[in-house]
Amino acid sequence: MGWSCRADAMNTMREWEKVCRFTTASSNCYEVNGQRYFFETSRTEHDDGAITGSVWKMLPDGRARKSGGFRIEGDGAVKRYPVGMAQALAALEGAAVLEEQHSNYNRVIGESLRR
């Protein structure tokens, strides 16, 4: 039997993976303020469908030091964020808003030039 969780918890994990891909092109490594971290999910299967795991800080010499843990409840709510993840999520949302504004601006300019 494999590891499982609730869909809502996995949806939250996918949002974290977007942050990772945006900042480092990896699925579980992210960067905040020039510092890299990575997370690993535990092998523990929780009755409530939660996802838990550990967070590691990358050191300059290539090693990693454990710097905390995380817990995503079965309903997708985050009980304990990985170090810096909330900040990274906010930055990604800000980047998405800027991209949308830029796209809208280009569309409006393009339409006005065609007139």
pLDDT, one tens digit per residue, over 6-60 is: 899 999 999 889 888 888 999 999 988 889 999 999 988 888 999 999 999 999 9
DSSP alpha helix (H) spans, 1-115: 7-24, 85-114
How far apart CA 63 and CA 11 sit, in angstroms, is: 30
The H helix count followed by the E strand count for the chain is 2, 5
pLDDT tier, 98 (very low <50, low <70, confident <90, very high otherwise): very low
Q: Is the pTM of this model over 0.85?
A: no
Phi first, then psi, for residue 114 (nearest 5°) are: -75, -15
